[in-house]
Amino acid sequence: MAKLIQEYMDGDTVDSFVLIKNADVRLTKNGKTYLSLVFSDRSDNISGNLWDASDDQVAQFIPGKIVKLEGKRSSYREQPQIQITHLRLANQPGEPDNPGDFMQHAPIKEVELQNELNDYVLAVTQPMWNRLIRKLFTDYHDQFLRYPAAKSNHHAFAGGLSYHSLSIARLANGVVAQYPQINKSLLLAGALLHDLGKVLELSGPVATQYTVPGNLIGHITLLDEQVVLAARELNFDIEDENMILLRHVILAHHGLLEYGSPVRPMIMEAEVLHRLDELDASIEMMSAALDKTETGHFSDRIFGLDNRHFYKPNLEQ
């Protein structure tokens, strides 16, 4: 059984099926064409150059394709890379053909994730919010389940978007049990919906990029617009205070204007949602970094956490 990318050490001979994540056509100093490739599987990414690439190779080795990769692993400026000795498309009988198998996934089965999300939708008992969530979850059903929660920060894996929303709903559930002054329906509605605009901001689960509306408008406003349009379609009065509260919770969830929220939280549920969002994202980022760190050492620096690095202590659970 072939090894995963993460399992190879410097100097190892590599022979595995991997997915092409990026493929740039470049010229060497002598003017020869080569491909600068990034390969991935569910364990990690690794880059490598295919020298003297023919036109055929340039045409077939494109993002989203599964390939059989042979070579040797080394390091260049602290970054591991593959010296490619052989590369071909995985097109033989019996070879893997589902790109989804090469992506990292949420650590929960899709059906379970969906069931648990549905339970939380039911717990939103305010009728306008409930109907709005159901309408938007229906409209964007597939994207919500398959998209990552970000291009590269936290939950940057297939299904990361819905998994992150679920994690916050779980945290929210615990918080409202402890603090009865917080409105459960509103906090859960915010937890479920707040990042749904990312299905319009990002290009999709594979080779994720920002779309033009994603860049020029941003996922917060893109979702607010969808909420308003859906409300109009459902014949809700968008001036109804319940509609204003829901929009506020969504708009304010980044907490600070500097982080792209057009308003700061000004109701309790908005403030709490913002804090739970950051709590889940930070735990996910630290966990991902520490998973790649040996006990007794510091992780790589984490951009999304002010470039801090984290120590992995030797603790029994």
Contact positions with a copy of itself (CB under 8 A) in 53-72: 72
Each residue 11-50 as x (binds a copy of itself by CB under 8 A) or -, in order, gives x--------------xxxxxx-------------------
- Asked if residue 268 binds a copy of itself (CB under 8 A), the reply is yes
| Residue 297 C-beta: closest distance to a copy of itself, Å | 10
Q: Which of residues 243-262 bind a copy of itself (CB under 8 A)?
A: 244-245, 247-248, 251, 257-262
End-to-end CA distance of the chain: 32
* The one segment of 37-45, 109-117, 132-140, 222-230 that binds a copy of itself by CB under 8 A: 222-230
Cα four-point dihedral sign 104, 108, 111, 114: negative
Q: Running DSSP on this structure, what letter comes out for residue 72?
A: E
Task: Decide if residue 90 touches a copy of itself (CB under 8 A).
Answer: no
What is residue 64's DSSP assignment? T
Footprint (CB under 8 A) of a copy of itself, residues 191-210: none
- The pair of structure tokens assigned to 150 is 């970000």
The strand pair at 45-50 and 79-89 is best described as parallel
Which of these segments, 96-104, 152-160, 201-209, 218-226, binds a copy of itself (CB under 8 A)?
A: 218-226
Q: Interior CA angle at 153 toward 137 and 302, to 5°?
A: 150
Contacting residue, 184, 194, 198, 253, with a copy of itself by CB under 8 A: 184
Beta-carbon contacts of 62 under 8 Å, excluding residues fewer than 6 positions away, are 20, 23
Q: Residue 168 and residue 145: Cα distance in Å, rounded?
A: 15
- Chain positions 116 to 135 lying near a copy of itself, rule: CB under 8 A, are none
